[in-house]
């Protein structure tokens, strides 16, 4: 199908884009659209405007629940000769560097076995000791740098869960950026931060909490939650409506990490697959009411512009279960659902994963 004009695009920065002048094409992709409207209805003329997202009472987000003190230790580059009985973790404790960083510097493969007499290079850097309940987002904010830079510096992989006692390498300032610009970036949340940096650190002897069955129970914000290991079944559409925003660069050059589907107000938003609620809130201004689910095998789905959030963090949901109601919160120009799919940190075009229309 040829590329078609759309009427909405999620902005990549802090400013709200001007609405496009070209109306959506009647040939735009449809997924069981309403019979009586090209675009969904708004609220009745006499109805009060939608003021805010309505969500279930909950604990604060994990990155607000456990403040982080920036006490990273500076370690100079050196070498170390392994003693009898040493483990990589013991070497890390002795040197102050992260065991993962030492393994990378010396090309040690898992399970990171070392032998007496072996000479190890200790990489220089600032290393933060992770404590109970700390999250990647909170650590990044404590040092005024973007969480994605910490992910890259430490070569963190799915499921991006930090361990209590882990020493995280804190990268230096970005060339060409002022400290104020760097700090502003650290405090500007995006979907990638929530997907990869919102889980509390887990102790070696701790087991993550089992998913809760319903929204009636509230898990502590600092409690790690067990996530699905494997994706169960195929993905389905979260709503029925008209596609008005496509994946990829928009007309203004801004990248859209998902799709936008126009629907009537208060349309039930359904889980695209079985999963666990990783986030339910409204901390990303552009997306308004937001739910993020994790499904296993590195997959996550994102549902934005909701007017009501009907699930909590840590709740298990089934494919097709209602998790929110649609709205026009955030930067939405009309009632719609912003829907993303991610594999690890990378956005994936939902139209390549959802069933045909």
Which DSSP letter does residue 173 get? P
Q: Which residue has the tokens 């659209």?
A: 33
- Residue 286's pLDDT band, with cuts at 50, 70 and 90, is very high
Chain centroid, CA 327 distance in Å = 21
Return the structure tokens found at 246.
Answer: 């496509």
> Other CB atoms closer than 10 Å to residue 238's CB: what's the count?
29
Tell whether the model's pLDDT for residue 147 goes beyond 50.
yes
DSSP 139-158: HHHHHTS-HHHHHHHTT--T
Tell whether the model's pLDDT for residue 60 goes beyond 80.
no
Residue 40 near residue 88, CB atoms below 8 Å: no
Q: What is the pLDDT of residue 21?
A: 36
pLDDT tens column, 249-285: 877 777 899 999 999 999 999 999 999 999 999 999 9
What strands lie across the sheet with 73-75, from one edge to the other?
A: 73-75, 125-129, 167-170
- Residue 52's pLDDT band, with cuts at 50, 70 and 90, is confident
Q: What share of the chain is helix, strand, coil (3-state, %, to 5)?
A: 15, 25, 60
Chain centroid, CA 281 distance in Å = 12
Q: What is the pLDDT of residue 291?
A: 97
Rounded mean pLDDT of 212-239?
91
SS3 state at 256: strand
């Amino acid at each position: 199908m040829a590329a078609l004009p759309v009427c909405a695009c999620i902005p990549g920065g802090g400013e709200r884009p001007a609405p496009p002048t070209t109306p959506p094409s009647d040939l735009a992709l449809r997924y069981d659209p309403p019979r009586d409207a090209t675009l969904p209805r708004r609220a009745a003329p006499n109805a009060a405007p939608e003021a805010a997202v309505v969500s279930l009472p909950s604990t604060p987000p994990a990155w607000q629940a456990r403040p982080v003190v920036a006490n990273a230790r500076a370690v100079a580059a050196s070498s170390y000769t392994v003693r009898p009985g040493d483990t990589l973790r013991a070497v890390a404790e002795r040197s102050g560097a992260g065991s993962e960083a030492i393994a990378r510097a010396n090309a040690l493969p898992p399970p990171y076995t070392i032998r007496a007499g072996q000479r190890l290079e200790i990489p220089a850097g600032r290393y933060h000791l992770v404590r109970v309940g700390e999250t990647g987002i909170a650590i990044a904010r404590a040092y005024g740098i973007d969480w994605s830079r910490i992910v890259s510096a430490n070569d963190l992989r799915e499921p991006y869960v930090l361990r209590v006692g882990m020493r995280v390498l804190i990268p230096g300032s970005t060339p060409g950026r002022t400290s104020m610009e760097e700090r502003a970036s650290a405090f500007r949340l995006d979907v990638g931060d929530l997907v990869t940096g919102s889980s509390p650190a887990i102790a070696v002897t701790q087991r993550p909490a089992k998913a809760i069955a319903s929204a009636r129970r509230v898990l502590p914000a600092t409690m790690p939650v067990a996530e699905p290991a494997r994706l169960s079944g195929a993905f389905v559409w979260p709503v029925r409506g008209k596609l008005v925003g496509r994946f990829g660069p928009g007309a203004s050059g801004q990248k859209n990490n998902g799709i936008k589907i126009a629907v009537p107000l208060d349309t039930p938003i359904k889980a695209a697959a079985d999963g666990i609620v990783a986030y339910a809130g409204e901390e990303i201004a552009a997306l308004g009411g937001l739910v993020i689910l994790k499904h296993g095998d590195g997959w996550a789905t994102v549902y934005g512009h909701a007017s009501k959030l009907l699930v909590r963090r840590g709740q298990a949901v089934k494919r097709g279960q209602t998790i929110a109601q649609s709205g026009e919160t955030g930067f939405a120009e009309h009632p719609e659902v912003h829907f993303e799919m991610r594999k690890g940190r990378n956005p994936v075009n939902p139209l390549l994963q959802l069933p045909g229309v």
